[in-house]
Amino acid sequence: MILLLDTGGTVCRLVLVDKNHHRHESEWEANRELAKGLLSYIESELHERQLSFSDISAIGVFRGPGSFTGLRIGITVLDTLADALGVPIVGEIGNDWQNKALKRLEKGESDQIVLPLYGSEAHVTQPRK
């Protein structure tokens, strides 16, 4: 099972691609719950298909541009998951990022670690206190 994930906006988009290239797509309105709920969301989507994390054979992730926090959280979680599972991970950009990621994974490519592409400098706010 190949896991594809986009956390570049307020809606988290997950695609699970099986060995027959069937896609299961789901969305989660994560808002400010992304860091706390991302792993549970992925686990729940896998469980719905009688799968677990160990069934993931490769990972593709949207690198950006997009939300600084969303990309940072999503990519960090998937980099860690890929490392823990010992599976390849690739990051891609653009509207066709999923297809590009799948093609790279089919070729046996891996970035080993994906870094976000924010599209501009991060807008870091100053603490209020």
The CATH number linked to 82 is 3.30.420.40
Query: What is the average pLDDT across 99-103?
Result: 97
Residue 22 lies in a domain: yes
Residue 96's Cβ-count burial label (10 Å; 0-12, 13-18, 19+) is exposed
Residue 124 lies in a domain: no
Tell me, what's the pLDDT at 129?
Answer: 72
Residue 119 lies in a domain: no
Tell me, what's the pLDDT at 22?
Answer: 94
Residue 96 lies in a domain: yes
**Mean of all residue pLDDT scores within the chain:** 92
Report residue 43's pLDDT band, with 50, 70 and 90 as the boundaries.
Answer: very high
Residue 128 lies in a domain: no
Give the CB-side neighbour count of residue 22, counting CA atoms within 13 A: 4
Tell me, what's the pLDDT at 13?
Answer: 95
pLDDT surpassing 80 at residue 96: yes
Percent of the chain with pLDDT over 90: 79
Higher pLDDT, 87 or 116: 87
Residue numbers of the domain that contains 89: 2-106
The DSSP call for residue 66 is S
If one counts every other C-beta atom within 10 angstroms of the C-beta of residue 51, the result is 17
Per residue in 8-38, pLDDT tens?
988 999 999 999 999 999 999 988 889 999 9
Tell me, what's the pLDDT at 81?
Answer: 96
Residue 60 lies in a domain: yes
Q: Domains in the chain: how many in total?
A: 1
Report residue 67's pLDDT band, with 50, 70 and 90 as the boundaries.
Answer: confident
The pTM for the full model equals: 0.89
